[in-house]
Structure 1
Amino acid sequence: MTVDMNSSAKEKAKLKWACRRGMLELDVLFMPFVDEAWEQLSEDNKQIFERLLTCQDPELFAWFMGHEECEDSELRSMVELILNRVKV
């Protein structure tokens, strides 16, 4: 059980590092999301979030600010999930 907790903590630490972006606007969305919602996500949604983090900052910024709509339905749903959590 300690191994699982340790690997989970390492996974979360890696994820938080990946959340550090070149744009403060993205940092303030991603960091709290990982801190507050990561554990409750399904495995599928965790993978989608990790895939979202591989996108370039300018396109992420455009999606989150509503300037463009992501064509990938899974990523678009994750963007909406994150934005809905921020609005609460």
Structure 2
Amino acid sequence: MFTEKRYARLKWACRRGMLELDVLLQPFVEEAFHDLSDQDQETFERLLTCDDPDLFAWFMGHQQCDDPALAHMVSTIVNRVKV
């Protein structure tokens, strides 16, 4: 379970400085994060530890993430934007 302090750190970590990532991650954490399962919340937190060039490549579909859990989270975020 995420405490308010941990959630605040997570929101801060969504500020990447790359507009393409910011417009995906910030709304997701604010609007959809609390609806995720505990496991998916942990995966999202782990996703934020990845390097920006990797995140950009995964979100834009230029590369596939080798980690199945992270790939699922990327897909979840992208599909939410498409709706």
TM-score bucket (shorter structure):
over 0.9
CA RMSD, 1 decimal: 1.1
| Counterpart position of 1:4 | none
3-state DSSP of counterpart to 1:45: helix
**Counterpart in 1 of 2:67?**
72
State which drifts further: 15-24 or 76-85. 15-24
1:34 counterpart residue number: 29
| Aligned residue in 2 for 1:8 | 3
Which stretches of structure 1, 4 residues or longer, exceed 4 Å deviation after superposition? none
Aligned to 2:81: 86
Q: How far off its partner does 1:10 sit?
A: 2.2
Q: Larger Cα Rg: Structure 1 or Structure 2?
A: 1
Distance 1:84 1:9 in 2: 27
Per the TM alignment, residue 13 of structure 1 is displaced from its structure 2 partner at its CA by 1.4
TM-score (norm 2): 0.93
Gapped regions of structure 2 (runs ≥ 5): none
Residue equivalent to 2:18: 23
Q: Which ranges in structure 1 are unaligned for 5 or more consecutive residues?
A: 1-6
Seq. identity, %:
63
Aligned residues: 82
